[in-house]
Chains A and B, each alone.
Chain A
């Protein structure tokens, strides 16, 4: 079977399984909503000075996205080990297809989280954007970047202890440089109308994502089969 078809088969399996249980969607969604309500209740749109808003809003948005995602992203591999289905999956599909399918599922989950969270964040926090297409670009690049790192780290922790704490410990140092660029990009999208101002941050995020994806594709078979 073609690797692409195999990858989409894994993605379909993940989506079907998620639609049955809704564990990842509900944990990610509820975590995001609870954190947003707590942050908005304490800080809200008026407790931040006008000139500080883009800086703080960009940082708060990505902190909420990353930690909300951390509650659901590792499940793609941890659930296979918990349900003892990992061995069957190893026999049924090539490692490349497994990684691609799980990565695509995490990407869908992250894009869904952003689509749910960002409008609410704008309403509750008074987050205004000078260049909406630029913000959409940053959000898509961010979802790609976070999904690439998180999928590989999820595979590693599922072969270790499978604990969510270990996922955060291992993924934070890897995604921190990316979060720095994403926060910078979001701040630019919120303040500068020109798309060209976004390019330095966007280039950094896209290249970091590319490097992570390529190295993950090479390393995944080692983690998956050992």
Chain B
């Protein structure tokens, strides 16, 4: 590992230590929430954000695969989907814990809960498809086509469903008029942004590890070992 990578990793570790400390001791409790339950927002929202970010990375890698037919792009798409699935599960679990505390039930069929459940199903279906095809090139193109098709339904899940159905979740920070409307204590907002950056960094680190591993696997396969 190079010195820059070691330093980045150490920085990421320190960043998370600060975020965790700030989430519990720097940010105040939010009004209208039971006990300390509002603090989960510093972890739940970034997990959901990373799940969606991974879906976007999966889309870009899938498009690149269809354009260049490079198996490494297919491996990049699969790595992003794997991490997206992991973070979607984490967001679902942390959201369920919050729902139990706030609303008395782990699952309430809220539109945003349905959205994340469908996102989990899409990721699971993506891997079911990958496992069903043995030829690597055909697997790459079919998985890429499915990923792109699945991605186009995302805006409907994220933006349309919560606007048609009543939701337990707070409104999005982007209003229908397109203006940003943050109703959060400045300290809470700072911690949330810090956590978003930290989780994004964590995703990129895990993603780069996955891609390096895939590159080595592809090289070994090309070498006929």
Contact = CB atoms under 8 A, between A and B. Distances in A.
Contacts of B152: 211-212, 215
A177 B149 contact: no
B164 A177 contact: no
B34 to A, nearest CB: 30
Given A177-B161, A180-B114, A180-B161, A208 B141 contact: no
Interface in B118-144: 118, 121-122, 124-125, 128-129, 132-133, 137-138, 141-142, 144
B153 interface: yes
B121 A173 contact: yes
Contacts of A60: none
A170 B138 contact: no
B18 interface: no
A223 B133 contact: no
A160 interface: yes
A156 interface: yes
A170 B161 contact: no
B138 A226 contact: yes
A91 interface: no
Interface centre among B66, B118, B156, B161 (most CB of A within 10 A): B156
B16 interface: no
Contacts of A160: 129, 132-133, 138, 142
Interface in B150-181: 150, 152-153, 156-157, 160-161, 164-165
B156 A219 contact: no
B148 interface: yes
Given A176-B118, A177-B153, A161 B132 contact: yes
Contact of B142 (A181, A207, A226): A226
A154 B119 CA distance: 21
A35 interface: no
Nearest to A204: B160
A215 B148 contact: yes
Contact of A222 (B66, B133, B150, B164): B66
A156 B142 contact: yes
B145 interface: yes
Interface of B (DSSP majority class): helix
B149 A152 contact: yes
B164 A201 contact: yes
Contacts of B132: 157, 160-161, 163, 166
Interface in A5-59: none
A71 interface: no
B146 interface: yes
A77 to B, nearest CB: 12
Contacts of A200: 164
Nearest to B122: A173
Contacts of A201: 164
A174 B129 contact: no
A113 interface: no
B145 A169 contact: no
Nearest to A205: B156
A184 B122 CA distance: 22
B164 A184 contact: yes
Interface string A177-209: 100110010000000000000001100100110
Nearest to B157: A177
Interface of A: 149, 152-153, 156-157, 159-161, 163, 166, 169-170, 172-174, 176-177, 180-181, 184, 200-201, 204, 207-208, 211-212, 215-216, 219, 222-223, 226
Nearest 4 CB-CB pairings of A with B? A173-B121, A173-B122, A226-B141, A160-B132
